[in-house]
Structure 1
Amino acid sequence: MKKSEINFSVTLDEKNLPKSIEWNATDKEAEGMESTRSISLNVWDNLNHNTLRIDLWTDDMSVVEMKRFYIDILGGMAQTILNATGDEYYAEEIKDLCDRLVTHVNEENKKQ
């Protein structure tokens, strides 16, 4: 049986806010730690039947990047729910939300 690992290393500033985030994975193409500005990790807690979340981002991640990141996450969730359950309605509802959010972000960017 194959085993894979994903590792995160977070450097915190004096206020315990992320200053830098690095990650590595055994199945990643490039070797060694790689820098990123944000991670979002969700874990299903079987014992308590709820979702545990870790959302971290560095202060150099722009608001526009953050919004795009979460739109991408939602889009990925739509595909995952379709693959896992075959529920096209559920997946399409999430995709429709993503489309509305992209429109919103694009309109915001035009105003700036």
Structure 2
Amino acid sequence: MAKTSTIQIKVGLDDQRVPESIEWNATDTAQERMNKAKAMMVAFWDAQEKTALRIDLWTKDMMVDEMAEFFFQSMMTMADTFKRATQSTPYVSQADDIRDFAREFSRKFIETQKKEEQQK
């Protein structure tokens, strides 16, 4: 039988079912304790339906600037993944397009944040 790994995710909810805590662990990691997180995005590809299935959660104490950084880093990682998956094809340059978009997203966020600070 092929080796398997299990990823465990625990989400603590308040009375309105809003996430208060997110913890995770995987059987193939050296850490035996649960790892804390403020947000998570998990995507699965359903090949039969040709659609992505997602679980997006964040805790109520996640700050907007943290969410922007989380998105920036997630997009950069997606670019890396896309490049690895398409490494010997003409689509590899699209990984750079994803990175460019992520950088522009971050630049606009910072610019908007500065404007908001000046208005206070």
TM-score by length of structure 2 reads 0.86
- For the aligned residue pairs, the C-alpha RMSD in angstroms reads 1.3
Q: Tell me the amino acid that sits aligned with residue 17 of structure 1.
A: V
CA shift, 1:58, in A, is: 0.3
Percent of pairs with identical residues: 38
* Count of equivalent residues: 112
2:110 corresponds to 1:106? yes
Deviations 1:49-107 (CA, angstroms, capped at 9, x unpaired): 10001000001110010111011111111111110012222101101101101211222
Match of residue 98 from structure 2: 94
Aligned pairs (5 A) from 1:36-75: 36-75=37-76
CA distance in 1, matches of 2:46, 2:33: 30
SS state of the match for residue 78, structure 2? helix
Unmatched 5+ stretches in structure 1: none
CA distance in 1, matches of 2:29, 2:64: 27
Q: Give the match's secondary structure for 2:55.
A: strand
For structure 2, the 5+ residue unaligned runs are: none
Corresponding residue for residue 9 of structure 2: 8
Deviation at 1:110, TM superposition (A): 2.6
Counterparts of 1:8 and 1:108, CA distance in 2? 34
After the TM superposition, which segments of 4 or more aligned residues of structure 1 sit over 6 Å from their partners?
Answer: none
Distance 1:106 1:67 in 2: 9
* One-letter identity of the residue aligned with 2:59: T
